[in-house]
Amino acid sequence: MDKDLCCVCQQPVDADAKQLGGRTYCVRHFAKVTQDRPGVWRAGLGMIAGQLGFVLLIEILVGLFKPAFSGWALVAVGVGLALVSALIWLVFFYQQDRLEPEPKGYVLSVFILGALLAQAIGIPLLDNVFEVQRWLPRSPLGGLLGAILVIGFVQEFLKYAAVRYSIFPLPEFDERVDGVIYGTAAGLGYATMLNINYIIADGGVHLQAGVIRIVVTALAQASFAGLTGYFLGRAKFEDEPSWWLPSGVALAAVLNGVFTTLRGELTTTALDLSGGGFNPWPGLLLATVAAAATFGALFYLIRRANQITLSGVDAEGGAE
């Protein structure tokens, strides 16, 4: 009897039901699982381009008008920048995904959940319990390992949990690519809260350097969460072994840790009489490359998985 229900909508299916990864699908949901949704990828590309454009716009505006904010005005401007950075993806996403949009409420809920988990667990755990700033800079190898084991695993697990224990079991999570969409939303929520904390803790932000930091955090957190989301999407719709999901979280944690360490190394410069100490531009380059490579790889992998599934259907009239 179990085999007669679609694993997504739980509705009875006909005898010619499709099988994929040990799960049964009705015709409609089988078609959904295997669709490419190019709009999602254009939104990803648009997000990267939009973030870079956002940085350039702020740099130009600050260069032209030289605004002199201070106190709460500076904090408010910084928080505004952090929110705009997150909104860029959402705007691109809904622009590109108009034909068959994900429910706005769910995407927004996962975004907020990512932010709440960051504020309630992630940031206090890393700052107050593990006190990463006290010991990560002490040695290059220890710093890298610590960034992976502590920062990487805490952040990636929380973003994974924001998707896995909210939208993942629901019928709305009905495509392979949904993992990437909701993962990215959780990552951006997490990044937004990190950025708001950074701005408030510093009592505002130097606009030109701050906007780069905000964008770097958004791009990086969204990319790594998108990667975890890819593993979630395949775990739900394919016959993946039990180690598949842990591998996804581990891979995202390793990339997160390596990125955190590299960003620290690349953006720290030697102090001299003319100033220095921090140059944010290499961090932006690194985040752009990481985001483009991650979303490019995910696009290729999901498209290939869909093609393999569909070619199996064409050849055999079913898929397994």
Partner 1 sequence: MTAVAKTLRRDRWADWAVIVLVALALLLGVWLRQATLYRAEDFTLGDAGISGRVFTGWVRQTGTDPLLTVRNPLSGSFNTVLELRSRALADEADATLVLDALALERAVTVDAYKTLSTSRVVVHSQTATQRTFTYVLVDHNPYVDRLPEVVRGVDVALRDEGRVIVVTYLAGSETFDADYRYFRTFVENLQY
Residues near partner 1 (CB under 8 A) are 2-3, 7, 21-24, 130-131, 134-135, 137-139, 142, 145-146, 148-150, 152-154, 157, 160, 164, 235, 239-246, 249-250, 253
Say if residues 22 and 262 touch (Cβ distance below 8 Å): no
For residues 126 and 314, give the distance between their C-alpha atoms in angstroms, rounded to a whole number.
50
Smallest separation, CB 157 to partner 1 (Å):
5
Residue 271 per-residue DSSP state: E
| Shorter beta-carbon distance to partner 1: residue 37 or 164 | 164
Do residues 109 and 186 touch, judged by C-beta distance below 8 A?
A: no
- Beta carbon of residue 216, minimum distance to partner 1 (angstroms, whole number): 24
For the bound state, the minimum distance from the C-beta of residue 255 to partner 1, rounded and expressed in Å, comes to 14
Smaller CB separation from partner 1, 235 or 305: 235
Closest to partner 1 by CB, 242 vs 274, is: 242
CA geometry: angle 201, 203, 208, nearest 5 deg: 105
- Tell which residue, 149, 289, 151, has the closest CA to residue 223: 289
How far apart are CB 247 and partner 1 at their closest, in Å? 9
- Do the Cβ atoms of 302 and 176 come closer than 8 Å? yes
State which H helix or E strand residue 272 sits in: strand 271-272
Exposed e or buried b per residue across 207-216, where buried means at least 16 C-beta atoms within 10 angstroms of its C-beta: beebbbbbbb
In whole angstroms, the minimum distance from the beta carbon of 76 to partner 1 comes to: 25
Looking at the Cβ atoms of 2 and 14, the one nearer to partner 1 is 2
DSSP-assigned beta bridge partners for residue 271: 276
Which CB atom, from 198 or from 244, has the smaller least distance to partner 1? 244
Of 145 and 262, which has the nearer Cβ to partner 1? 145
CB of 26 to partner 1, least distance (A): 14
